[in-house]
Structure 1
Amino acid sequence: MEALAKYEKILPIKIDYLPVHLGAIIIKSGNKPPATLPQKEMNMKRDIEYANHFYGLKMKWPKDFELTIVKRGSTIPQRFLTAVGENEPKFLLPAARAFGSRVWESDEPIHTEKDVLEVAQKLKIPNYEKLLEESKTDAIKNLFKSRTDEAMKTGAYGIPWLILKQEGQKDKVFFGSDRFHYIFNELGLEFRK
């Protein structure tokens, strides 16, 4: 997310941040979560250190990754983010960052409504209680599901899953935050760090 935000400032693009159900994408694509593959977990832990150094973050591996990430998941906050994006879009990125920070910096939960309300209150998101209620509606659940399904149709197997849409051209997809040199190239620009 930090790479996207950084490059959005310097590229002639508009980024639409669309919450998706990562667990569904992993299962439906046949991918395996890092906790089930030791090499993947080891690499992800290394990447956290690289990201901390590069972006000035303070991420750390959750004490109980399987419980925090795999078992509890993030469906409630992701649906809340979907409602925020539809109603208070300027709060979408700050809220997503706050949820990420709770998991990856503070090792705090995000899976309950109480957790969501704590984040929303801290950010002073207008009508946050109404947005939480809206996140439970069929309309938001269906939108969240349709965005997940759309990502799957384009080949998603994890996140970030980036779709470059250019007028008059076929959509191009990229996985990961380390593909920006390809995106710059597709835009006809010289890559900048």
Structure 2
Amino acid sequence: MDKKITCYLDCTSPYSYHAFSYLQKNAAALADLGVEVEFTPVFLGGINVGSGNKPPWTLPAKAEYAKYDGKRAQEYFGNQFEVPPWFPILSLLPQRALTYVKKSTPKSDYEAAYLACLETMWKRQLDISKPEHLATALRRVFLEGKVQEILTEASNPKIKAELTAVTEKVVKEQGAFGCPWFWVKNAQGQEEPFFGSDRFHYMWRYLGLPFEDIKLKSRI
């Protein structure tokens, strides 16, 4: 495949959840159209610090708007949940764990584990920054021995360094300032960034994919 979407996600971002579920829903169509999709863990806290960005909840106007936008996104993507009272989390543990899972398991298991982490946090309302709750998420995909291996390897200095390096790369080389962040290569070998879970129509146009754009229907 010569077209590729690299999707950088963090479990603490609800819009990462929306983006992941949307791309998974369209995985077969994208593969048929010759588009490779790769999901890559990053640390959103590091992206915010590195780019100078501030989370929406730290700015009163953005926090107020987020109450509306969040519900609209849930309705659009079909992911219904309440924002947990302990949100946001320090997401280093799950992101490191997923970094290891990506290296040590087949693509299908890795993507199933990412979905399990997202659903456990947002739908089941468990704080996956805590080892016992992350283990609950991972058990939906792996046997107990593998779960314990993943939790152990999440503390491996090499895995920690890998997550840090990827996070720094997307900030310094791609200009990332939040999640979900996409780095997209088209058939001509050109590459551009896209940000957010509401820019897929821009992305499809850039990739030259056939799609139905947003259209109004007259009552006439």
Coarse TM-score class (shorter-chain normalised): 0.7 to 0.9
Structure 1 residue 85 corresponds to structure 2 residue 102: yes
Q: How does 1:66-105 map to 2 (within 5 A)?
A: 68-69=87-88, 72-88=89-105, 89-105=107-123
With over 3 angstroms needed to count, the CA separation of the structure-2 counterparts of 1:28 and 1:105, relative to structure 1, is same
Q: Which amino acid aligns with 1:93?
A: E
**Percent of aligned positions that are identical:** 31
2: CA distance between counterparts of 1:184 and 1:166?
Answer: 10
Higher strand share: 2
Contact preservation (8 Å) 2:94, 2:128: yes
| 1:139 Cα deviation after fit | 1.9
Aligned to 1:129: 148
When the two structures are superposed, what TM-score results if normalisation uses the length of structure 1?
A: 0.87
When the two structures are superposed, what TM-score results if normalisation uses the length of structure 2?
A: 0.77
- In structure 2, runs of 5+ residues without a counterpart are 1-19, 214-220
Aligned to 2:61: 39
Q: Which amino acid aligns with 2:174?
A: T
Contact preservation (8 Å) 2:187, 2:207: no
Q: For 1:130-178, what per-residue CA distance to the aligned partner results, in whole angstroms no more than 9, with x for missing partners?
A: 1221221122112111111111120000001000023652311000111
* 1:127 partner SS: helix
Higher helix share: 1
1: CA distance between counterparts of 2:212 and 2:98?
Answer: 30
With over 3 angstroms needed to count, the CA separation of the structure-2 counterparts of 1:181 and 1:47, relative to structure 1, is same
* 1:123 partner SS: coil
Contact preservation (8 Å) 1:161, 1:174: yes
Q: How does 1:17-166 map to 2 (within 5 A)?
A: 17-64=39-86, 68-69=87-88, 72-88=89-105, 89-124=107-142, 127-152=146-171, 153-166=173-186
Aligned to 1:188: 208
Contact preservation (8 Å) 1:45, 1:61: no
* 1:81 partner SS: helix
Aligned to 1:6: 25
2: CA distance between counterparts of 1:26 and 1:123?
Answer: 31
* 2:37 partner SS: coil
Aligned length: 188
Q: For 1:89-134, what per-residue CA distance to the aligned partner results, in whole angstroms no more than 9, with x for missing partners?
A: 3222222222222332233211122222111123235712112212
